[in-house]
Amino acid sequence: MRLVESEIARQDWNGMLCGCGDSAGHLAGDLSRLAGGEFRGESGRVGFEGHIWSEVVLWEPAPAVTSVALAALADDVAPTARAEFLDLLQCLVAGDGTDFVSSRRGLDLPELCRDVAVRGLWLLYEEVMSNRSIGAAGTAFEILAVVETDRARLHRVREIAADRLPVCCRTGLCVDDGPQAD
Ligand SMILES: [Zn+2]
Ligand SMILES: [Zn+2]
Q: For residues 168 and 137, what is the distance between their CA atoms, to the nearest angstrom?
A: 12
User: Is residue 167 a contact partner of residue 137, using CB atoms and an 8 Å limit?
Assistant: no
pLDDT at residue 88 greater than cutoff 90 = yes
The pTM assigned to this predicted structure is 0.93
Q: Note whether 39 and 6 are same-domain residues.
A: yes
Q: For residues 164 and 133, what is the distance between their CA atoms, to the nearest angstrom?
A: 8
Of 83, 109, 135, which residue sits at a domain end?
109
- 1: CA distance to ligand 1 center in Å? 25
User: Is residue 67 a contact partner of residue 6, using CB atoms and an 8 Å limit?
Assistant: no
- 48: CA distance to ligand 2 center in Å? 22
Ligand with minimal distance to 13 CA: 1
Q: Does residue 165 come out as left (phi exceeding 0), alpha (psi in the -120 to 50 range) or beta? A: beta
Ligand with minimal distance to 20 CA: 1
pLDDT at residue 180 greater than cutoff 50 = no
- 34: CA distance to ligand 1 center in Å? 15
Neighbours of 29 (CB within 10 A): 11
Q: What is the DSSP string of 56-121?
A: S-B-TTHHHHHHHHHHHHHTT--HHHHHHHHHHHHHHHT---B-HHHHHTT--HHHHHHHHHHTTH
Q: Note whether 10 and 66 are same-domain residues.
A: yes
Q: What is the pLDDT of residue 40?
A: 61
Percent of the chain with pLDDT over 90: 86
Q: For residues 169 and 138, what is the distance between their CA atoms, to the nearest angstrom?
A: 6
pLDDT at residue 168 greater than cutoff 70 = yes
Q: Note whether 42 and 76 are same-domain residues.
A: yes
Of 109, 138, 162, which residue sits at a domain end?
109
Q: Which domain holds residue 167?
A: 120-182
pLDDT at residue 109 greater than cutoff 90 = yes
pLDDT at residue 96 greater than cutoff 60 = yes
